[in-house]
Amino acid sequence: MEISLGGQGASSHASHIDEEGKVRVGMLFYVVVDIMFALFLVSAYVFLRGVNVNNLWFPDGTQNIDLTQTTFLTGLMVASGLCFVLAHWAVRQGIGGLVKLGITLAAILWIVTLILNVQYMGHLPFTQSGGGFASMYVLFTAYHIYHLLLGLMFVIGITIRALQGRYTRERHMGITTIGYYWYWVVVFGIVGYLLPIILPGPMH
């Protein structure tokens, strides 16, 4: 391999290491790994539903999930995502105040969602031992809560940094990359909300 030092290379690399690109690619791949996990959960759900044609899927005596509650929780999650989108838009426009407001709102909504989700999981009308559907449903909820808990680190960090005013129009890779994670968690929340509606257990 021929190399030269200090000279102009054949490539048009402006700078050697693309620091921002690095973070972006890394976060994208992290989200991809997470998406794969979710994909296998969804596949397992569809699989179990597919091979259990009748009563086995959702045994008698267990109640159905409360749609009002799940709609409310998903709505909170989506609202958090929207606030984040607003902040992301604002930082690209350079509107500092709106960034702080958007991020703070998004973070508060995130934490509220987390608390309500934990409470929701504690008051499900069935337990994880209530059959295939119940097991899957609890696993989905638990995975969502895991997302929210892990994201808490990002949420606190990004809020403090936003309030410190460290994100500018030129440098806001933190918002962009954490945004990938944020949006993905929202998407997973929606998937977990819709799946039992699209492919429900048999009603009795």
Partner 1 sequence: MSWTRKLVPSYFSGAVLAAIGFIVGSQYVWRVIGGANWDFNDPGLIGNFLEQGFLAGFVLMTFGWLIGIGAFKYPLSWMLGLKDPDHNEELRLAGKGDGIIRYFRFTTDHKVVGIQYLVVTMIMLAFGGLGAMLIRTELMFPGAWAFPKETYNTIVTMHGMLMILTVISFFVGPFGNFVIPIMIGARDMAFPRLNALSIAFLIIAMAVYAFIPFMGIGDPITTGAGVQTGWTVYGTLADQTGIGVDALAMAVILAGISSQMGAVNLITTVIAMRAPGMSYTRMPMTVWGSIGASILAALGTASLTVDLVMIISDRVFRTSFFFAATAGDYAGSGYVGGGSAWLTQNLFWFFGHPEVYLLVLPAFGFVMDMASVFSRKPLFGYKTAILGLMGVVVLSFLVWMHHEFVSGFLPELRGFYMASTELISVPTGLIFLVLLGTMWRGRIWMTVTMGFVFAFTWSFLIGGITGIYLSDVPADVQLHGGMFVTAHFHYTIVGGALMGFLGAVYYWFPKMTGRMMDEKIGWISFWGIQIGFNGTFLAMFYVGLQGMPRRVADYSPLFAGGNLVASISAFVLGASVILYFYNVIYSWKAGPIAEANPWGAKTLEWTTPTPVPLENFGEIPVVTSGPYNYAEPATPSGVPARGVEAGPAIG
Partner 2 sequence: MNSRGHLRTPIILWVVISILLAALYYFLAPVLAQAGVIPPLASDVADNAYQIMAIFTYLSIPVFVGVVVFAAYSLFTFRSHGRPTDIGPQIHGNTRLLGWWLAASFVLITVLYVIGFNGLAQLEAAAPASALHVRVTAQQWIFNYTYTDYNISSSTLYLVENQPVEFTVTSMDVHHSFWIPEMGVKADAVPGELNTFVATPNKLGHYTVRCMELCGVLHSDMNTNVVVETASQFGTWISQQMSVRPASMFAAVQLPEAALLDASGKRS
Q: Which residues bind partner 1 (CB under 8 A)?
A: 1-11, 13, 16-18, 21-22, 25-26, 29-30, 32-33, 36-37, 39-41, 44, 47-48, 51-52, 56-59, 127-136, 138-139, 153, 156-157, 160-161, 164, 166
In contact, 80 and 156? CB cutoff 8 Å: no
Task: Round to whole Å and give the CA distance between 93 and 66.
Answer: 41
Contact call for residue 53 and partner 2 (CB under 8 A): yes
> Which residue in the set 18, 20, 55, 194 belongs to the binding site for partner 2 (CB under 8 A)?
55
Residue 125 beta carbon to partner 2: minimum distance, rounded to whole angstroms: 23
CA 157 to chain centre: 16
Task: Round to whole Å and give the CA distance between 163 and 2.
Answer: 49
State whether residue 9 is helix, strand or coil. Answer: coil
From partner 1, partner 2, none, interface partner of 157 (C-beta below 5 to 8 A by class): partner 1
Task: Round to whole Å and give the CA distance between 166 and 178.
Answer: 15
Nearer of residues 150 and 197 to partner 1, judged by Cβ: 150
